[in-house]
Structure 1
């Protein structure tokens, strides 16, 4: 039960060949000036032990990105304090946009994606993260994501 974005919303395929750009499954750098990590926004599914996850990209400061990168393979990294970040993934089922929502990135043990905690606002995504969603909402999200993927391929 998840959806995952391949790259931050600001990534352009022309960056792939640039020496000052990088896109890996976990980290992204654009023009050696913009820094991103991939994490999970987890939403509890009401009435079950399941969690729906959005695989999203967040923008970190250069200093925080360097710290996260330095600890990437280090045991005990989950003891690191959360880092402030901006959400840089447009999730297709939310209005208003999810771009630039304020978040905190929590590092987890090696091998686990960071947990992305949205600041508690009245944005529908933040509300869902705090309150949970129904299985019907999961199905609605799945249908919308599949439909938007079909539209992208046309």
Structure 2
């Protein structure tokens, strides 16, 4: 139950030929200066045992990105402290913009995407992450995404 984006909003296909840029399903580097990892904003669904998730990208500092890569295939990596980052995915269903919301990326066991914790603000996405959403809200999101012009939401 969720939707995912293919790349951070700053990614442009012209970077694909740049030797200092790369995009994989889990990591992204833009011109050797901007570093991103993909993770999940998980939102509890009220009355259910599962969550709705947004697959999003967060920017990390060069040092935190390097550390995350070093630990990517290391058993026990979930013991890492969270990495501070900025949300770099625009989720157009939310207003104001979701770009540049403060996050903490929590590494999980190998094979699981990081859990993206939003700063506890009054932004609607952060409120939903803290308080949960109804099944009706999940349907509302699904309808909005299915009728969206964006291919990657």
- Give the TM bin, normalised by the shorter chain: over 0.9
Alpha-carbon distance, 1:73 to partner: 0.3
Q: Could you report, residue by residue, the CA deviation over 1:110-151 in whole angstroms, capped at 9, with x for unpaired residues? A: 000000000000000000000000000000001111111xx3
Aligned to 1:115: 115
Q: Would you identify which runs of 4 or more consecutive aligned residues in structure 1 move more than 3 Å?
A: none
SS for the counterpart of 2:67 is helix
SS in 2 for 1:32: coil
Unaligned runs of 5+ in 1: none
RMSD over aligned Cα atoms: 0.8
Q: Which residue is equivalent to 1:6?
A: 6
Q: Identify the residue that residue 34 of structure 2 maps to in structure 1.
A: 34
Match of 2:88 in 1: 88
Q: Hey, what does 2:17 align to over in structure 1? A: 17
How far is 1:152 from its partner?
Answer: 4.1
1:43 corresponds to which residue?
Answer: 43
Aligned length: 151
2:65 alignment partner in structure 1:
65
CA distance in 2, matches of 1:115, 1:137: 21
TM-score, with structure 1 as normaliser: 0.96
Deviation at 1:92, TM superposition (A): 1.8
* Residue number in structure 2 paired with 1:141: 141
Residue 28 of structure 1 and its aligned partner are, at CA, apart by 0.0
Offset from partner CA, 1:33-90 (integer Å, 9 cap, x none): 0000000000000011120000000000000000000000000000000010000000
How far did residue 25 of structure 1 move? Answer: 0.1
